[in-house]
Every structure is written in C-alpha cells, then in structure tokens.
Amino acid sequence: MPDLKMDMTVNGRRVTKPAGPHMRLLDYLRDELGLTGSKEGCGAGECGSCSVFVDGKLMKSCLMPVAKADGAVIETIESLAQNGNLNPLQRAFYKTGASQCGYCIPGMVMAASAALRENPLADAEEIKERLGGNICRCTGYSKIFEAVEIARDVINGTLPATALDAPGAGQSYIGNNVRRLDAPGKVTGALRYAGDMVMPGMLHMQVLRSPHPHALIKSIDTSAAEAMPGVACVITAADVPGVDGFGVFVHDQPVMAKDRVRYVGEAVAAVAAEDLLTARAARDAIKIVYEPLPAVFDPEAAMGDGAPVLHDYAPDNIVKHIPIRKGDVEKGFAEADLIVEQTYSTQPVEHAYLEPEAGLAYVDHDGVVTVVSPSQNITHHRHMLAKIIDKPIHKVRFIMSPVGGGFGGKEDMIFQGMLALAAMKTGRPVRLVFSREESIVSTAKRHPARITCKMGLKNDGRITAVDFRMISDGGAYGMSTEGVMRKAAILSCGPYAVENVKIDTYGIYTNNTPSGAFRTFGAMQAQFATESHLDICAEKLGLDSFEIRRINMMRDGATTHTRQKLGSVSLGRVMEAAEQASGWQAGPPVSRGLARNDLGGPGNRRPCTLGARLRPGSEQLREEVA
C-alpha cells in the first residue's frame, strides 16, 4: 500500500506529509500531525468529538478518508485560541462550566463555532439543532447551550465583553460559582487523554477477544503472529509471572483468559507491534482452539441445580448474597389491610463515556512498571498489579490520566495488566486504545436486576412490612458486584420508616458481559422497584403519590434498616420542592385533572422537532445581520 501524497493547509500552515491510504482525516491530524485536540469517541460519525472545518464547512474527520482532504484548508480546535488566548466561545464555555470530563468539548466548541459562523443570530432552538451531531455524556447540554448563547451575544455586541468574565468568587466557595481550573485545557483541546499520549519507540497493542460465551481454551498458537515483521510481542495468560487475578472485591478475573473464557469479548491474547495495522494483522493470525461449554445467561437459571458453574470457588454461582432482617415480616403482613406483590426488571446499561478506554505503559529507568490510564481506582489497581506481575509495590506505579467520563465504568483493571506485561516483555512503551465497539463489548455494564417486592400496608397508607428480593446478573466476573449488592440492600426500601423488613440481594455469575460499578451503585435498580411499587400501592389505596410517601418517610432522628442513626432528614423539603416545581395535581395516580399543568409551561420541554431555521422569520433575521 503506497503512501498518498498530501498537500493541504492545516491551521494556516502548509502540510505535505504523506498519509497511509487507510487513514482517515482524523488519524492524519492526530497521528501524523500530533493535533490530538480532535478526539475519537465512536469512529462512526455519531459523537462529533472529531469535528473539524474542511474548506470552511464543519465535518466529522472520522468519516473522511484522508485523501478527500487533499488540497483542502483544515481548521482544528487548536486554531481557535491564538497565542493561548481563549476566543469568546471558549471563554463562554469556561465561564458556564460547560466542560466536565472535557472529551467531547473540542468537538462541541467546533460545532458551536460552526453554528455561529453559519448564523450569527441563531436562537436557542437553532443552536440545539446545529449541535445535534455532537454528543456529551456529562453535562446534560444546558451549560453548553448557555455558553453558546452568551458567546453569540458578546460577538454580536448585545452583551458586553465582561459577560465572559468569571463571577466574583466571594468570600466562600460555598454558595458561589467557582470556575473549573481545568477548563482552559479542555476548551482548547490541549489536554491530553491517555489515547492522545505518545512516547518514543511506542508500540501499539491490539487484543484478541473471545467469540464464545463459555468455552475451554484447548490451545493457543501464536507462532504466525510472532513471526510477522513489526510484531514485538504476543502475550497470553502464560506470561503472567505472579498470582493472576483482579477484581474490586474478589480477585476472580485473570488479566487474559486462562484455560477458559466466560463471556463474549473476554481478552484472550494481545499483540504489541510497531504500528496499528501490523498489530491488527498479527492479532488475526493468532490461532485458538476452543471447546464450547454449556453457558448460562439468566441469573435465576444460574442459581438452579445443574446449572453450568463459572468459577470453582462459587459452585452455586453466587458472587454475593446480602441479607438484611429487621422486625418480623410475617407479623407485619398479618397486620396489613393490603398486601401488594410485583416483580420489576431492569436492563444492562452501558456507561457510554465519550472516551473509550485507553492506556500507555512503560518500564522506567529504575525498573518501575508504570501504567498511565484513566483508572478510577489507581491505588487499588497498583496493589493488584504488583501481585500479578510479582513485583514489590515500589516497582509498580499508576498514573491517572484525565478521565474522559467514567461513571463507574473505569473502576475495573480490565486492560492495564496486559499493557504492563507487554511493556515488561518488550522493554518499550506500549499503548492500547479501545474502539467504541470494543469498549461496549468488553467492559462492565450496570447490573440488570429482577426484583420482587411484597409490601403490606394499612388502609391509611402506613407500611407494615416489606419483603424485598433482588436477583442481579453479575455476568462472568465479580468486579464491583459485592458492593453493588450491599448498597442495593441498604437502600432497597428507600427513605421510608418500616418496622419489619426482609431484604435479600443476590449477585449471580452468568456468561453475560460482567456487570460492575455504575452511578448509584445498585440503588437505582432498587429505587425503581420501590418507588414504582409505592405508586401502585397509592393507586390501590386511593392516596396521592406524595401523601403515601409523607406518611412513611423517615424524619429527623430516624434509624435506618441497617441501624444508622440519621441526624436530619431533608426528604420532606425535597418532596415539597418537587411537588411545587412539577405543577403537581393532588390525587391518586389514576386521577387526572381537567387541564395538564405539567405541559406547555415555562419550565417544560417542548416536543422534539427540527427545523428552527426553516420557520418563518429566521431567514429575515439572517438577512438583517448580513
């Protein structure tokens, strides 16, 4: 594959460096020109983290073969802040706190630039539309839209330039807006995430993953891969010098599958090579013979007799069972006027941070094995890796790179071990950057749960007993399941004072993608069941939804089901605020007022549509500006 001759203008400079014919414009900008402000979030045109101007039009550089950009004038995020001075849009993003993890922000700033270049008077709806091709996982977009509107007005002169200044911090951080110190690096694209980092002599890693949910590994033949020119090493579980196993609670997961695979997407072998293409070719040349085993995909089936066993230490497939007992539920049910039993289920959820997993490892001049990655738990990872690679703790170092979104999904050490092994084996820096698909296939998800809630109530709405049973699919490895089950159990019955409770949460091994930490850490699934259940009970008792909660809510000085003494409880005030803000109409859930107060008001979202710029008036406005 001969290189392509290129001749383009990038950020005002002529560039003639040749490009590989496989390259996308994004690869060329990042890998050949070192312009890593443009990020890769999906590689499929869905997220906009890679947006750049091509001959004045904003485009997604991951969708553009580099040859298309030959002869073009390219502007990237790096061109916006001249001599390090943020432009008005970047200052507005800084002011409103529009950057959180920051990974989407270069693309977002570019999309906002395009919106205001195309229509300097774009209204809020049109701004939303023009940013429609860019995804942000952290902010909920409000701060971003707010920033674009401020910048628009400053640029048009309807707001003074001082509108971009920070508000006075006051005497205290509490109660005052405080600027994010890291925002300038994010709005300019200067901040380097792990996948943006390079080192001299760096190798590129690719990972071979299991196509089977459950199978024995009969043989691994790496000879063809190792013989390929440009391949520096191939690693498998056999390269682990120490005690192989990691996890947040139980160390049940090997760095790479050992003897058998337990889910589709599990790492089995990895290659480090001089370039990505060689690494991919070598990965595909590794031959593995599998012997498929019966697999189990439903946690209740996995609890049954004769189900396939995933881990020898857990013959019942139970990762963790957390029981809580308080009072006497049978007595509580006997006292009840109404008993309601329902089963609720939730689905797995992907964290979908914009930054796919990435890491860089090297062995430094003192022989310290160093791993740079967006890990949410570097100290724990360091201790685990020391045992895995059989080194004293002072010879293992973890550096936390900027986390381009985590949400719990980067708590597990699922790739750092492979990087460390390859760096040790080759003596060279090794980098691995996950594709979006790889990230979705191989990383932990929110636990899917099946929850049966049985609740006894008096006719006046008081809860007399709760029997709460939650069965969660932990997937193939333990990860954070134990903690998630614990928190789900503690918070299962919500902030309600109940004398008699019986709670059981189970995390179960299956051959599904492992479940792990995710915002709320198990509370969300439990609350979904309990709060849905309360509404159903309110309907049966003819009570208002807020009323049934007020009757049962914990108050100042309450003791929780796990005997934690609460000083103050703000639930009453929270509900009052929610009731007012929502335009609530009192009555049981089945009742409906004459008019809907929850639609069409100033605080409500309008129905989803497009075409703000086509509606009468917008054209006229644009002409007035021109």
Partner 1 sequence: MLTCETYLTPATLGQALAQWAAAPPGSRLIAGATDTLPWARQGRAGDVYVPALVDVSKVAELQDYEISGGRVRLGANLVMQRFLSDETLRAHLPCMPHCAIWFADDQIREQATLIGNIVNASPAADGTPPVLAMNGTIELARLVGGAVTRRSLAVSDFVTGPGTTLLADDEIVTAVECDCLAGYGGAFEKVGQRRSLVISTVCTACLVKPSADRTSFEDVRLAIGGTGPVPLRLNHIEEFLKNRPVTRDILRQASQMTDGLINSRTRRAYRGDVLSGFIERALEDALADCGVHIPSDSVREAANA
The residue among 301, 248, 252 whose CA lies nearest residue 471 is 301
Range list of β-strands (E), 458-541 = 463-475, 500-509
What is the x/- site pattern for partner 1, positions 69-88, by CB under 8 A?
Answer: -x------------------
Check binding of 4 to partner 1 (CB under 8 A).
yes
Instruction: Supply 213's token pair.
Output: 């949910």
Counting residues that bind partner 1 (by CB under 8 A) gives: 44
The answer to whether 435 contacts partner 1 (rule: CB under 8 A) is yes
Among residues 64, 116, 378, 466, the one that binds partner 1 under rule CB under 8 A: 64
Question: Smallest distance from the beta carbon of 606 to partner 1, in angstroms?
Answer: 11
For partner 1, the binding residues in 255-284 under the rule CB under 8 A are 277, 280, 284
Map the footprint of partner 1 across residues 342-401, applying CB under 8 A.
none
Beta strands 396-400 and 430-433 are unpaired
Q: Residue 253 corresponds to which tokens in the numbers above?
A: 């997961």
57 interacts with partner 1 by CB under 8 A: yes
Candidates 66-74, 350-358, 473-481, 586-594: pick the segment binding partner 1 (CB under 8 A): 66-74
Between 283 and 312, how does the x/- string for binding to partner 1 read (CB under 8 A)? -x----------------------------
CA distances from 222 to 43, 212, 241 (A): 29, 19, 19
Closest among 248, 505, 533, 476 to 348, alpha carbons compared: 476
- CB contact at 8 A, 208 and 267: yes
The answer to whether 58 contacts partner 1 (rule: CB under 8 A) is yes
Q: Which of 291, 437, 460, 556 binds partner 1 (CB under 8 A)?
A: 437
Q: How would you classify the pairing of strands 463-475 and 500-509?
A: parallel
Residues 440-479 that bind partner 1 (CB under 8 A): 441
Residue 122 or 302: the one with the smaller Cβ distance to partner 1 is 122
Stretch that binds partner 1, among 391-399, 445-453, 552-560, 608-616 (CB under 8 A): 608-616
Of 45-53, 365-373, 421-429, 537-545, the window that binds partner 1 (rule: CB under 8 A) is 45-53
* Binding test (CB under 8 A) with partner 1, winner from 216, 289, 590, 610: 610
Asked if 414 interacts with partner 1 (CB under 8 A), we say: no
Among 82, 172, 580, 609, the residue binding partner 1 under the rule CB under 8 A is 609
CB atoms < 10 A from the CB of 399, how many? 14
37, 43, 254, 448: which one contacts partner 1 (CB under 8 A)?
43
- Residue in 31, 32, 46, 123 binding partner 1, rule: CB under 8 A: 46
Kindly state whether residue 207 participates in binding partner 1, applying the rule CB under 8 A.
no
Contact between 22 and partner 1 per CB under 8 A: yes
Considering only residues 39, 60, 351, 382, which one is a binding residue for partner 1 as defined by CB under 8 A?
A: 60
65 touches partner 1 (CB under 8 A):
yes
| 136 in contact with partner 1 (CB under 8 A) | no
Report d(CA 414, CA 482) in Å as an integer: 17
For 71, how many CA atoms within 13 A lie in the half-sphere containing its CB?
2
Say whether 491 sits in a helix, a strand or coil: helix
Min separation Cβ 135 and partner 1, Å? 9
Residues forming beta bridges with residue 19, ordered by sequence position: 4
Q: Six-digit token pair at 300?
A: 């209740």
CB 423 within 8 A of CB 385: no
What is the separation, in whole angstroms, between the first and last Cα of the chain? Answer: 48
**Between 169 and 610, whose beta carbon lies closer to partner 1?**
610
Binding to partner 1 by residue 488, rule CB under 8 A?
A: no
Q: How far is the CB of 309 from partner 1 (least distance, A)?
A: 30
- Select from 13, 17, 44, 368 the one that contacts partner 1 (CB under 8 A): 44
Amino acid letter for position 205: M
Strands 449-457 and 463-475: antiparallel
Rounded Cα gap, residues 410 and 374, in angstroms: 7
- Report if residue 8 touches partner 1, rule: CB under 8 A: no
Listed ranges 145-153, 359-367, 565-573, 610-618: which one lies at the site for partner 1 (CB under 8 A) = 610-618
Of 5, 1, 133, the residue nearest 69 (C-alpha): 5
Place of tokens 């049954």: 304
- Residue 47 near residue 354 (C-beta atoms within 8 A): yes
Q: In whole angstroms, what is the distance from residue 351 CA to residue 407 CA?
A: 6
CA-to-CA dists, residue 198 to 1, 284, 310, 436, 610, angstroms: 25, 25, 39, 20, 42
Q: Which of 74, 81, 89, 111 binds partner 1 (CB under 8 A)?
A: 111
> Exposed, middle or buried by CB within 10 Å (0-12, 13-18, 19+), for 46?
middle
Close Cβ partners of 47 (under 8 Å, ≥ 6 residues apart) = 41, 104, 107, 134, 135, 354
Interaction between residue 601 and partner 1 (CB under 8 A): no
Which of these segments, 62-70, 311-319, 358-366, 556-564, binds partner 1 (CB under 8 A)?
A: 62-70
Q: Which stretch binds partner 1 (CB under 8 A): 128-136, 459-467, 491-499, 553-561?
A: 128-136
Our finding on whether 432 is near partner 1 (CB under 8 A) is no
> Distance between CA atoms of 188 and 59, rounded to whole angstroms?
18
Give CA separation, 609 vs 129, 132, 261, in Å.
9, 12, 46
Residue from 17, 124, 132, 337 binding partner 1 (CB under 8 A): 132
Window contacting partner 1 (CB under 8 A); options: 50-58, 78-86, 159-167, 212-220: 50-58
User: Are 29 and 344 in contact, with CB atoms under 8 Å apart?
Assistant: no
Binding segment (CB under 8 A) for partner 1, from list 126-134, 164-172, 183-191, 589-597: 126-134
Q: By the criterion CB under 8 A, which residues form the site for partner 1?
A: 1-2, 4, 21-22, 24, 43-46, 48, 51, 54, 57-60, 62-65, 67-68, 70, 111, 114, 118, 129-130, 132-133, 277, 280, 284, 435, 437-438, 441, 608-611, 613-614
